[in-house]
Every structure is written in C-alpha cells, then in structure tokens.
Amino acid sequence: MNATVTIDIETCKGCVLCIPVCPPKVLEMSTAVNVRGYRYPLLLEGCTGCELCAKICPDFCIDVYRAEARDGMLPPPYEGGGEGKV
C-alpha cells in the first residue's frame, strides 16, 4: 500500500466531516457504534495519505502514514488494500 490512516474510533464523535473531504472517497461511516454511541469512519482501500481527513478532524482521531522505500528509491507500486476491510 501507499498509505493508510489509523483512527481512534473510541474518541470519534461521529461528526462525519472526514467523509466528504477524502479525495479518493475511501472513508465510510460504520453502522456499529463506539463506546460513546457514535458511529465512526471505516477505511476502504485506496488511501493516498493526503492528510485531509486528519486535518479536518476536530477530535485529533486520525494519524496518517505514508509508505517510503527502505533503500531511498521510488516508493513501491500500489499494491492495493488499506488497513481494515468493509
């Protein structure tokens, strides 16, 4: 994969701001709820690590990871699959 995010789903308040802001549209609200009763975003395949969801999240829930080549060369080709499944 090129990138992924981790989401602190227990801190999420279900505001949904991250969903429309994601350019490849790989965030989708869950049907399950967290311990506070809020639904939270699920990550689909295709995250590009653009950071927009993390920047718009008022609850600091999202950390963003991008892949780097270990030996300093170009990043590997897209191999599909973000963290987590639908």
Residue 69: both structure tokens together: 């080549």
* Cα-only R_g, the chain: 13
Shortest Cβ distance from residue 24 to another protein (Å)?
Answer: 15
CA–CA distance, 82 with 48 (Å, rounded to integer)? 10
CB atoms within 10 A of CB 38: 18
Site mask for another protein (CB under 8 A), range 9-48, x = bound: xxx-xxxxx-xxx--------x-------x-x-xx-----
Residues at the interface with another protein (CB under 8 A): 1, 3-4, 6-11, 13-17, 19-21, 30, 38, 40, 42-43, 49, 51-52, 54-56, 58-71, 73, 75-76, 79, 81, 83-84
